[in-house]
Structure 1
Amino acid sequence: MSRRGDRLQKKGARGTRRAAAQRSETPAARSKAGSAGGKPPSRLRLWLKRGALWGGGLALLGVVMLGIAVAMAARSIPGYSALKANQPGQTIIVRARDGREIVELGPSFGEWLDHDEIPSTMTNAMIAVEDKRFHSHFGIDPVRLTGALVEGVTGSRARLGGTSTITQQLARNLFLNSNRTFDRKAREAVLALALEWKFSKEEILELYLNKVYFGGGAYGIDSASRKFFSHPATELSVGEAAIIAGLVKAPSRYSPTADVQAAVDRAQVVLRLMREQGYISSDQAMVDVTAVQLKQAAGQNSVRYFTDWVLPQLDIILPETFEPIEVWTTLDIGMQRAATTAIEANTPRGAQGALVSLDRDGAILALVGGTDYVATNFNRATAAMRQPGSSWKLFVYLAALEAGYTPEDMVVDTPVTIDGWSPRNSNGRNVGETDVRTAFAFSINTVAAQLGNEVGFGTVASMARRFGITSEIATFPSMVLGSSEVRLIEMTRAFAAISAKGVGIEPYGIAKVTTADGELLYQHEERRDRALVPDYVVAGMTDLLQAAVQTGTGRAAQIGRPVAGKTGTTSSNKDGWFVGFSSGVTTGVWMGRDDARAVPGLQGGRAPAQAFAAFMRYAVKDRPIEEFDITVELPEWQLEPDQEAMFGEPDDYYFIDEQGNLVEPGRREQIPSPFGIEGERARDAPAAASEDFLEQATGGALPQDRREPRRPQAPPPAAVLPPQPND
């Protein structure tokens, strides 16, 4: 047999013996053999085992890395004394023009209270509402953290508290911002663990209660206690402690000076938690929080409108600084009170009022942005955009005066239509021929429309820009009646330029800024502005403005001394204005509703003019009476020195020749004279000597054909002014 056959025979014998052996094994023996390694384990169990090993390794590595991060953070955290001395924010003291303090802004810090000086009621209230496991966790509360993770997965909002512990809040207040990002939360957690590693629970709680923010600029429980209850934190009652502890979650929402009921409701929650956690009894939890005596908020008045407008300017005029500073402003305390009273007393029910008063150099003497700052801090004096009504006619008549009109010039009040727009007078009548002064004093709309159309609506807009109006200005015909929205401070600035003899001014509220030690950081410099219009235009405009108060629509603004000003009323009585000046003080008043709805009976000549008068009587009482200069001295180009001047320069006018043909300016034909001198037509040139003289000199009569017939002297040509183009 071949070798190949031998190998096949042996292989078959081995297979026969293996099969016989398998048939002889019992099921138990086969099972035992498989468990001993004959059959490999399942793939799933293998991966689970590997995952557990890797997960454990990574977790161990994470713990090690976290420990290293916490250790490094603990080393970088300043010592307890340094943290205690560090105070957040910048304190700003705002002073009036006489140096008196009107408001202190920024952080306010009370007395530092050691842990054993802090009332246990205050400590317990804060722990109950912010971190009930404060004494048992190590900086991070695992229960809260787990709840937050479940909440993130399920979207539930069952938990009543946040995820941050007191230690985490302290870490955020000391070292971080309030951005709700994963990176910030991770760093907050590391810093919280470091704080717990480095300081005791008592030290952490002491730092927290002396540094946490309670709203209104108050940092720490002592500052909050003095702000809200007028006594130190060592005297806090259970109800007062509950109010303060409830502020941490949302200082502005639960502030007792802003919403007493919200503060009371939040305090009730704190008392319930204190009772549930065993800090107080049921009787103590029933304390009447409404009976707590709150400090009256004396500083929340109209002066905050002024500080809200002026303080952001510090970012522009000062280099970056975090040291305490004192801002010396232009505000007059007495005038501010008078302005507040005038607005509150004269503003119609349901409406708002605003007032701006400027000195002759642009310094703001008083600024009121509304009837109640606590109710609404929107500044209607500097931010609200409203239609100025007829007070806008200031720019129309300025343009007309600059174009050559005078207060005595005659105009015609008659119905007019311009590009499809037909303005009507408020009384629905037309008086016919009148002078410019009367038309302005009684705010005749048709005359203003004709003047605006004659000088050009673009010219009127340019005049408004020249006087400091920065808001958007339309050039439609109706713009002459104040259809473009402007700010009150802009209109007041424009009128103040007339008071300043036509020199432009810039409103300002900061006179100087110093450090707490008196070092000068900023000093206001007086601007050297140029004259915006000629003197004769200023005199004429002052004449018109004075007439509006003496005999026109602004009679309610009279104060017993010369006053110049203009009223303004928009359609359907939505806005009422009066802007005027006297003795170097310019004041603008606006009244209306924030939703631009009509206010019954609101007219610029009534409530706004009355508020103006009430304020100005106080504002100018210590100033000398100043008469207005209304003498209009026209420039030479407008004067007529002799009868021939009425013809002006020949090239400036249209002429009609002897045949009645129209000759355009600069196109009159001239021919050389016999004597080489440019003059009239040769046939009209007079002879060098008379005929009688020639006859006597020659001794005889001249030939009849040499004589020129005498013609009657022609009248002078009629001058016709060129038509003015429309804008």
Structure 2
Amino acid sequence: MLQRTRMARIARKPEPPASPRATARRPAPPAPPKRPRRAWRWLRWLVLLTIWGGVALAGLLVFLTWDLPRTDLALTTTRRAGVTLEATDGRIIATSGDVVGDIVRLRDLPAHLPAAVIAIEDRRFRDHFGIDPIGIARAAYVNFTTGRVAQGGSTLTQQLAKNLFLTPERSFRRKAQEAVMALWLEWKFSKDELLEIYLNRVYLGAGAYGVDAAARLYFGVPASRLNLWQSAILAGLPKAPSRLNPRSAPEAAAGRAAEVLDAMADTGVITARQATQAAEAIRIPPRPSRDSGWFADWVMDDLGSRFPGNADLVLRTTLDLRMQAVVEARLEALLAGPGQRARVGQGAVVAMEAATGNIRAMAGGRDYRSTQFNRATQARRQPGSAFKPFVFLTALEAGASAQDPVADGPLTLGGWSPGNGAWRPRGEITLEEALAHSVNTAAVRVLQRGGGARAAIETARRFGLPGPFQRDATIALGTGEVTLLDLTAAYAPFANGGLLPDPRGLASARADGRAVPVAPPASHRVTTPEAAQAMRRMLEAVVARGTGRTAQPPGGRAVAGKTGTTQDFRDAWFVGLAPGSGAGLVIGIWLGNDDGSPMVDVAGGTLPARLFRDILEGLAQSEPPNPPGGG
């Protein structure tokens, strides 16, 4: 027991403290350094982020650019071939496809045109590098404060990139591609070169690309001759080319031009007074012709066969805008007045030079915007008594003369008895009187004298009337079918010494700026000069003392023509010969309804003859005065 207690004490005895010398010989181990290891970790992450960020950026660039078009092909432009139709005076009447004017240089343009574009589209154009952070921030602030998209942040270079290379799609990817292409354009071209490309390629509505095409289309002048307010209108169009089109929306275009002028004044390009004066001077010219679309459609109908290839065509036509305006105005006035009271819904007019076949005016209906069906070239209708000149000509060619007698009494052929209306038989009248008063029974007898229906049909076809025709005696009363254009041309030999001209609408043509041949006026003889002159005198009698007296204009000018009326007043015609340069004009007129419903007592000698006279009066009033010392 005692031994166990002693051992326990020995076990609990504390150790003696270490001496100072011993402690110095065994220092405590130092703590490991932590800062270098942490810095290395950050450096490693930075390297990894740089590598993977570069990979991500490269992937993003590949994603954005893998399907971008080749810049060399885009700059050479791919577009639809354009067709521009000009009137005789050079004014544009219609366009088709993408119309591009002459390439313009900044040095050739009035200074206010590029200044207007920069002022309204990109005021910092000469200061940014293709993307404008300041402009983007400003647009974002304005849009946020107004609660709507009131401004855009795209630069002019970005717009050019979109127009040249990209689609109008609205997406983040497309906007990013636009920025990439804008940077490339800024690296590739100078600011002046970018501005020139923009001015030559920007879409300005109505199929016009570039300021020169738009200037010619809207104002009839090249871009080099634009005045201040015209430049402001063109500069305002890129925002909404269709909605601000000066032809279809002149008030909207003028309002936008005023905004452009104010922007120019804000940037100091012009003074506030100049901006106000230019805004007050805005006078947007009307379309050269409201309804010349029918003529344009007729001219363009077979351009592919006449001008094969993909060249841009500029075609000078035969259309006389002064005459076209008179035809349109007088036709509308007649249809809106007496025509409406007589239930006349439609009309058509063709004015053609008798010697050349040049179509000077064409109205294929009342309003081209309502219907593009051309009643002058596409509608086939019975001509009524307007066909009789070819029946009488056949008799003249068979040996008859205008003063030969013909019976005008009742007549029955195979159970058919033609009526004479209000005409009271006299027993016998001359062929000239029979045509002048459109006596039906006499016309049937003249048909028989000339060899019957077959001979008359042959004459009609020789004069360019293909039919179809009835092969019986009713043809003497005009029971076949014709178009107004064909019938008008068929009367030309009566003024042209027996020569039938081919109707034509083109006078000259340029393909990609180079002149290309156009068929000259062509005609061929269809009757003798003597027979044609005899028919001309007979047609003058129609107007002088027959059914066409209403067509006689004041002043005693010698005109000729023939009336035509179909059963139940469904069609009413007048085809007249009017004096003028060369062999004069042939003017053909048709009135009726598209559904064939009857009019109220409208015969060829009433409203159609009256419209012929109205057109001649309008042409006389619109003739420009002779210059001093002129002949």
- Normalising to structure 1: TM-score of the pair? 0.53
What is the aligned partner in structure 1 of residue 91 from structure 2? 101
Following superposition of structure 1 onto structure 2, how do residues 481-492 of structure 1 map, counting pairs within 5 Å? 481-492=477-488
What is the aligned partner in structure 1 of residue 82 from structure 2? 90
| Letter matched to residue 607 of structure 2 | A
TM-aligned CA deviation for residue 459 of structure 1? 1.7
Further displaced range: 441-450 or 113-122: 113-122
What is the aligned partner in structure 2 of residue 389 from structure 1? 384
Matched, 1:493 2:489: yes
TM-aligned CA deviation for residue 235 of structure 1? 6.9
Per-residue CA distance 1:161-213 (angstroms, 9 max, x = gap)? xxxxxxxx9999878999xxxxxx9xxxx99998787566999xx99999686
TM-aligned CA deviation for residue 482 of structure 1? 1.7
Matched, 1:308 2:297: yes
Equivalent in 459, 463, 467 of residue 459 of structure 2: 463
Please give the root-mean-square deviation of Cα atoms over the aligned residues, in Å. Answer: 5.3
What is the aligned partner in structure 1 of residue 552 from structure 2? 558
TM-aligned CA deviation for residue 468 of structure 1? 0.7
| Letter matched to residue 359 of structure 1 | A
**For the Cα contact (< 8 Å) 1:548–1:566, is it kept in 2?**
yes
- 1:515 and 1:221 map into 2 onto residues whose CA distance is 20
Three-state SS of the structure 2 residue aligned to 1:549 is helix
- 2:208 and 2:283 map into 1 onto residues whose CA distance is 15
What is the aligned partner in structure 2 of residue 57 from structure 1? none
Matched, 1:216 2:206: yes
Q: 1:210/1:410 Cα in 2 relative to 1: closer, same or farther (>3 Å)?
A: closer
Equivalent in 269, 284, 307 of residue 318 of structure 1: 307
TM-aligned CA deviation for residue 555 of structure 1? 1.3
- 1:175 and 1:465 map into 2 onto residues whose CA distance is 56
- 2:603 and 2:377 map into 1 onto residues whose CA distance is 21
What is the aligned partner in structure 2 of residue 417 from structure 1? 412
Q: How many residues align?
A: 472
Q: 1:491/1:116 Cα in 2 relative to 1: closer, same or farther (>3 Å)?
A: closer
Following superposition of structure 1 onto structure 2, how do residues 279-428 of structure 1 map, counting pairs within 5 Å? 297-323=286-312, 325=314, 327-347=315-335, 348-350=338-340, 351-427=346-422
TM-aligned CA deviation for residue 441 of structure 1? 0.8
**For the Cα contact (< 8 Å) 1:585–1:620, is it kept in 2?**
no
TM-aligned CA deviation for residue 367 of structure 1? 2.6
Three-state SS of the structure 1 residue aligned to 2:446 is helix
Look at both structures and tell me which one has the larger radius of gyration over its CA atoms: 1
- 2:64 and 2:473 map into 1 onto residues whose CA distance is 72
Matched, 1:532 2:531: no
What is the aligned partner in structure 1 of residue 435 from structure 2? 440
Following superposition of structure 1 onto structure 2, how do residues 609-620 of structure 1 map, counting pairs within 5 Å? 609-616=609-616
TM-aligned CA deviation for residue 113 of structure 1? 7.9
What is the aligned partner in structure 1 of residue 584 from structure 2? 585
- 2:121 and 2:321 map into 1 onto residues whose CA distance is 43
Q: 1:526/1:234 Cα in 2 relative to 1: closer, same or farther (>3 Å)?
A: closer
**For the Cα contact (< 8 Å) 1:576–1:591, is it kept in 2?**
yes
What is the aligned partner in structure 1 of residue 34 from structure 2? none
Three-state SS of the structure 1 residue aligned to 2:499 is coil
**For the Cα contact (< 8 Å) 1:574–1:597, is it kept in 2?**
yes
**For the Cα contact (< 8 Å) 1:356–1:381, is it kept in 2?**
no
| Letter matched to residue 335 of structure 1 | M
Following superposition of structure 1 onto structure 2, how do residues 507-522 of structure 1 map, counting pairs within 5 Å? 507-514=503-510, 519-522=514-517
- 2:602 and 2:422 map into 1 onto residues whose CA distance is 16
- 2:167 and 2:499 map into 1 onto residues whose CA distance is 48
What is the aligned partner in structure 2 of residue 42 from structure 1? none
- 1:322 and 1:93 map into 2 onto residues whose CA distance is 14
Q: 1:591/1:91 Cα in 2 relative to 1: closer, same or farther (>3 Å)?
A: closer
Q: 1:120/1:572 Cα in 2 relative to 1: closer, same or farther (>3 Å)?
A: same
**For the Cα contact (< 8 Å) 2:87–2:320, is it kept in 1?**
no
Three-state SS of the structure 1 residue aligned to 2:522 is coil
Equivalent in 538, 542, 549 of residue 548 of structure 1: 542
- 2:73 and 2:505 map into 1 onto residues whose CA distance is 43
**For the Cα contact (< 8 Å) 2:487–2:588, is it kept in 1?**
no
| Letter matched to residue 478 of structure 1 | T
**For the Cα contact (< 8 Å) 2:463–2:526, is it kept in 1?**
yes
Equivalent in 469, 472, 475 of residue 473 of structure 1: 469
The answer for unaligned runs of 5 or more in structure 2 is 1-58, 124-135, 137-158, 187-194, 220-226, 254-281, 341-345, 624-631
Three-state SS of the structure 2 residue aligned to 1:504 is strand
The answer for unaligned runs of 5 or more in structure 1 is 1-63, 123-134, 136-168, 179-184, 265-292, 623-727
- 1:234 and 1:333 map into 2 onto residues whose CA distance is 26
**For the Cα contact (< 8 Å) 2:365–2:375, is it kept in 1?**
yes
What is the aligned partner in structure 1 of residue 24 from structure 2? none
What is the aligned partner in structure 2 of residue 607 from structure 1? 607
- 1:582 and 1:224 map into 2 onto residues whose CA distance is 38
TM-aligned CA deviation for residue 300 of structure 1? 4.2
Three-state SS of the structure 1 residue aligned to 2:316 is strand
Further displaced range: 578-587 or 485-494: 578-587
Per-residue CA distance 1:595-648 (angstroms, 9 max, x = gap)? 2322324221122222222333576899xxxxxxxxxxxxxxxxxxxxxxxxxx
**For the Cα contact (< 8 Å) 1:589–1:608, is it kept in 2?**
no
TM-aligned CA deviation for residue 410 of structure 1? 1.9
What is the aligned partner in structure 2 of residue 652 from structure 1? none
Following superposition of structure 1 onto structure 2, how do residues 179-194 of structure 1 map, counting pairs within 5 Å? none
TM-aligned CA deviation for residue 547 of structure 1? 1.6
- 1:426 and 1:177 map into 2 onto residues whose CA distance is 68
Q: 1:457/1:104 Cα in 2 relative to 1: closer, same or farther (>3 Å)?
A: closer
What is the aligned partner in structure 2 of residue 657 from structure 1? none
